[in-house]
């Protein structure tokens, strides 16, 4: 579904991603795990057309190179950025509607789907986004992404800074979203929980993919255990 070949990207003179190869099949949850600064967010920014890159990113056999970010969104590739980036002075419903602006006809139905997934958001529908807890804001950010009818959902560190309880809620929701037919690319520092819900994973270190395998293979890998799981 998404095919990344020899991707190189960075900021100005600084190169961050080096020869990344990665594929995502329809229906999969694929995770990219690695430490802070490894290049995970940079990879998602390249896919969603926010930064320039060399190499190729193809979506259903069509190149995404040079396309504007909104064109990529229209194809169903939806990026939930790191740090949530919700609108603090808008209510829960208004925040969600901002994610649904592309598909008005589905907005009402999608809103109900988001509320079914996150009942807490339904309870808080008139609350201002900025007054919600970190975990609630993360649900809102994911919900806003779902409003755009994603085929591929790009999730950037959805568990960052969340309590164990909210972390479980978020990972459970990712599973449900995937069971409902959405392909997911998850980038995370929470290596255990990410690999645990993923069909396949990649380990990224200073801009390079150093390991790949099924979620289970990576969880049982000695290097992964030593570097990320403290075993």
Ligand X SMILES: Nc1ncnc2c1ncn2[C@@H]1O[C@H](COP(=O)(O)OP(=O)(O)O)[C@@H](O)[C@H]1O
Which residues here bind ligand X, judged by CB under 6 A?
Answer: 11, 14, 16, 34, 36-42
* Residue 231, contacted partner among Mg ion, ligand X, none, CB below 5-8 A by kind: none
- By C-beta, is 100 or 207 nearer to Mg ion? 207
* Residue number closest to Mg ion, CB atom: 41
CB of 52 to ligand X, least distance (A): 12
Question: C-beta of 8: minimal distance to ligand X in Å?
Answer: 13
Residue 216 interacting entry, from Mg ion, ligand X, none, C-beta within 5 to 8 Å by type? none
Give the Cα separation of 96 and 92 in Å (integer). Answer: 6
Task: Classify residue 187 as exposed, middle or buried by CB count within 10 Å of its CB (0-12, 13-18, 19+).
Answer: buried
DSSP 151-199: SEEEEE-TTTT--HHHHHHHHHHHHHHHHTT-EEEEEES-HHHHHHH-S
Residue among 14 and 165 whose Cβ is closer to ligand X? 14
Burial-class residue 101 by CB neighbours within 10 Å (0-12, 13-18, 19+): exposed
- Least distance from Mg ion to the Cβ atom of residue 14, Å: 15
Shortest gap between Cβ of 210 and ligand X (angstroms)? Answer: 13
Closer residue to ligand X in complex, CB, 11/101? 11
**CB closer to ligand X out of 39 and 135:** 39
């Amino acid at each position: 579904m998404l095919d990344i070949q020899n991707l190189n990207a960075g900021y100005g003179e600084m190169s961050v991603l080096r020869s990344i190869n990665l594929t995502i099949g329809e229906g999969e949850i694929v995770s990219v795990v690695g430490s802070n600064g490894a290049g995970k967010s940079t990879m998602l920014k390249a896919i969603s057309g926010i930064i320039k890159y060399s190499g190729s990113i193809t979506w259903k056999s069509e190149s995404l190179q040079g396309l504007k970010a909104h064109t990529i969104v229209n194809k169903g590739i939806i990026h939930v950025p790191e740090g949530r980036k919700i609108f603090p002075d808008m209510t829960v419903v208004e925040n969600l509607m901002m994610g649904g602006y592309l598909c008005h006809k589905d907005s009402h139905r999608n809103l109900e789907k988001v509320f079914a997934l996150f009942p807490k958001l339904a309870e808080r529908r008139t609350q201002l986004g900025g007054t919600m807890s970190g975990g609630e804001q993360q649900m809102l950010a994911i919900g806003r992404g779902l409003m755009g009818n994603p085929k591929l959902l790009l999730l950037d560190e959805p568990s960052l800074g969340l309590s164990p309880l909210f972390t479980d809620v978020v990972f459970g929701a990712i599973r449900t979203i995937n069971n409902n037919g959405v392909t997911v690319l998850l980038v995370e520092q929470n290596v255990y929980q990410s690999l645990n819900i993923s069909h396949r994973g990649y380990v990224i270190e200073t801009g390079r993919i150093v390991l790949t395998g099924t979620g289970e293979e990576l969880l049982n890998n000695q290097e992964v255990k030593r570097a990320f799981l403290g075993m």
